[in-house]
Structure 1
């Protein structure tokens, strides 16, 4: 935002400060970035989304999950449950630790230090998955829990930098840069792995040979692509040694003062519900495509590529629009889109309507994820970014347990009716939309500025 347009400078003083403003703009960033934030630093922040997205795309969604069920566990009846249980355990650990890590990061100005450790943990955990051959169930599950815990913790920490980089009225746009670049990163990692898989299969190699190499490729790309973040991103927070509060005390104080941050509190509850629907789609879309729609493995891979492309477009295009129409209205539009997507997928009897539903899911995925991160940044007090983004992580990880387990339970109780399962999880979007109606972003912003 230009200094000549800042509301705290009276119009009468604009001419007198013109020379100073011009000089300031030469040294500081303009537009969506805060003064002192250079474009390359914002790019370095967004590159972390590029770096870590390969992990979720390759390990959680497209490659290792199926490999675990069919090869590591030998197709055992309990294999899918074991996989989802391991993911649920990692999410539960994040749920318990995220607010505490965020509070510690705020007190010690240590977001970047913690981010380095979680990045190292996820990279090493992904390398560990390369050791999981046929029958190595316990080893595979242990490294899944470790890598996914570190991934989720790092996701919260990198998000806490957003309010330090973007102007309050441009949080959606800058958040969209990260989410959009993240989906591109997922495509790069998936493309590299699929290129190797194609070569390996042409040379007669099976999954037990090429999937471990894919884990090494994913880990290497994560490590390399995250280097700009650690080289260029600055830690702008200052330590708070004068505080005698422990991390637990700060989190408990925030919970006790929930009435003061009532819009943040309601939005966190809203996140739990609508993210439950999103997490179910992310974790189980490939299973739905194969079980309900009869897709082949090749069709499913094409579906994942398509969803990542449309998600990138949705995040990049929607971010700027979100800043114009308002955070709450923008998120409401994405939830309506999710409801339409669920109804299309539930009713689809052929591939065409399902592909349309997949396109809608991709657009809504990028837009809704980016929009939520921006609204949390808008509602978070300046001195507690890490803590409030930790609470955001808590809400998302709780939903990561709730959504997939709901889908699995409905499918199991209904005798394998995946259409009923996706319709049931779609109800979470309706609940989220109803809760969102009670969120007043401007009132919540005033509370944050006072905190």
Structure 2
């Protein structure tokens, strides 16, 4: 499986302006041609190293944003009756997240390209992490009145934009800290740590702010102080656990002899590289497009899961958080099992199986008459989301030439966000269409998400898996 002359020439045509050390990294390069994991030189099969653990702690910390803020607590607060009609609030949130997705689609790949060329991947990970923490903390000022709804949705949407920028650089570190033999397991470990971090964050929120074990001033429900303090807690949690990766994973070397682009020139250069990629390796482009669709659906499962639990199945916030804790345990197990299967049977098989499981589970939620069915099929959704997310990241990492991780993961974010408005828009549209005809219209938002997952699965089926698959 060595680097053939034809494949080397292909990479040279694709990235003609890169130094030769980057051009020689092929999509099917042997293990020795990948950047060595900092702690893996002695034992390349070792998974849990100091850089890997520090890298995974960023996922652990970001769970406070993903699980607490955008899924199970703060968005449930925003779409509650405190801010007006719950269906209307859900539409506003869906539209706000759709606009954020368009912003990410326009900016993420250029951010990745420029961080690769400038050798500032870790720096921009830190900058964007700080911005997310500040925006999250600012949600403290979203008081429970309808006039504050737009402020709350705006802060959540902006936090999601900068969180995605941070994630581009975070994901691009995956080949730095793993080897081709362990990349699936390391990716699964990172996702699993994220889910476990979500469990801890949700438990702390539940027992100190929502239903406190010991009464204290911060747990006061006056002006929803306890729920607004959730935002402050999430910001501190994220920032604290994000720090280790900024010290343990070294900064990448910049291309000092390479060209420097203005912002507009970066878009032109990006367009040239995408066209070259399409000519030389179309299946990578096909995967980016297919994963964009199904990842949008995966994100929507978590984004709107807590909202559906509360609005459709009548879960009070306490039960929403309990479900979230149990769901994160299931999702963590699914992600780690999926990571092992990824290195064993290949990422494409794991993703296809997971998407089929998600479609079955999602329809189970839609047809469930009560809370019991939501518990069963909702936990099944959690089980399959983790492996699909983890293997999607590992899939692209197996295809990425050395030195181009930020750029391709920027494209990964962009293709995802280019259609990221799709799932929220279909969720909102399905509710809006059903509202005149049924009493509980929010349930029909599930169908919009299922359409997105099905389309992603159909687009993925003809895509050729990576050379290392199987």
| Structure 2, unpaired ranges of 5+ | 1-28
CA distance in 1, matches of 2:186, 2:159: 27
Match among 171, 183, 189 for residue 177 of structure 1: 189
1:217 matched to which residue of 2? 233
Alignment of 1:367-386 (within 5 A): 367-386=387-406
Q: 1:128 to 1:295 in 2, by over 3 A?
A: closer
Secondary structure of the equivalent of 1:169? coil
Match among 304, 319, 337 for residue 339 of structure 2: 319
CA distance in 2, matches of 1:211, 1:291: 18
TM-score (norm 2): 0.83
1:100–1:390 contact (8 Å) kept in structure 2: yes
1:124 matched to which residue of 2? 134
Match among 157, 160, 166 for residue 169 of structure 2: 157
2:19 matched to which residue of 1? none
CA distance in 1, matches of 2:380, 2:450: 14
CA distance in 2, matches of 1:26, 1:157: 20
More displaced, 206-215 or 124-133? 206-215
1:310 matched to which residue of 2? 330
Q: 1:444 to 1:426 in 2, by over 3 A?
A: same
1:30 matched to which residue of 2? 43
**What whole-Å deviation, never above 9, does each CA across 1:248-287 have from its counterpart, x for those lacking one?**
2331122212132211111111112212322222122223
CA distance in 2, matches of 1:442, 1:50: 28
| Structure 1, unpaired ranges of 5+ | 1-5, 10-23, 446-451
1:16 matched to which residue of 2? none
CA distance in 1, matches of 2:327, 2:38: 39
1:328 matched to which residue of 2? 348
CA distance in 2, matches of 1:40, 1:321: 23
Q: 1:120 to 1:76 in 2, by over 3 A?
A: same
Q: How many residues align?
A: 423
**What whole-Å deviation, never above 9, does each CA across 1:398-440 have from its counterpart, x for those lacking one?**
3432112102101210225444432343132222222212221
1:59 matched to which residue of 2? 69
Q: 1:236 to 1:247 in 2, by over 3 A?
A: same
2:139–2:155 contact (8 Å) kept in structure 1: yes
CA distance in 2, matches of 1:29, 1:146: 43
Q: 1:131 to 1:316 in 2, by over 3 A?
A: same
Secondary structure of the equivalent of 1:400? coil
**What whole-Å deviation, never above 9, does each CA across 1:173-223 have from its counterpart, x for those lacking one?**
110111000111112222222222223995682152112222111111111
Alignment of 1:420-435 (within 5 A): 420-435=444-459
Q: 1:97 to 1:297 in 2, by over 3 A?
A: same
Secondary structure of the equivalent of 2:404? helix
Match among 283, 291, 295 for residue 263 of structure 1: 283
1:343 matched to which residue of 2? 363
2:339–2:391 contact (8 Å) kept in structure 1: yes
1:359 matched to which residue of 2? 379
More displaced, 243-252 or 160-169? 243-252
Cα distance, 1:25 vs structure 2? 11
1:279–1:399 contact (8 Å) kept in structure 2: no
1:91–1:397 contact (8 Å) kept in structure 2: yes
Cα distance, 1:393 vs structure 2? 0.9
Q: 1:201 to 1:80 in 2, by over 3 A?
A: farther
Cα distance, 1:27 vs structure 2? 8.2
Cα distance, 1:128 vs structure 2? 1.0
2:220 matched to which residue of 1? 205
**What whole-Å deviation, never above 9, does each CA across 1:360-412 have from its counterpart, x for those lacking one?**
11111111110000001111222211010011111222343211210210121
1:106 paired to 2:125: no
More displaced, 133-142 or 329-338? 133-142
1:136 paired to 2:148: yes
1:96 matched to which residue of 2? 106
2:268 matched to which residue of 1? 249
1:160–1:385 contact (8 Å) kept in structure 2: yes
CA distance in 1, matches of 2:182, 2:171: 15
Match among 165, 177, 201 for residue 189 of structure 1: 201
CA distance in 2, matches of 1:185, 1:69: 25
**What whole-Å deviation, never above 9, does each CA across 1:230-259 have from its counterpart, x for those lacking one?**
111112344253235542233112221213
2:57–2:193 contact (8 Å) kept in structure 1: yes
CA distance in 2, matches of 1:193, 1:299: 13
CA distance in 2, matches of 1:282, 1:323: 26
Secondary structure of the equivalent of 1:259? helix
CA distance in 1, matches of 2:40, 2:306: 49
CA distance in 2, matches of 1:185, 1:298: 18
Cα distance, 1:117 vs structure 2? 0.8
CA distance in 1, matches of 2:260, 2:306: 49
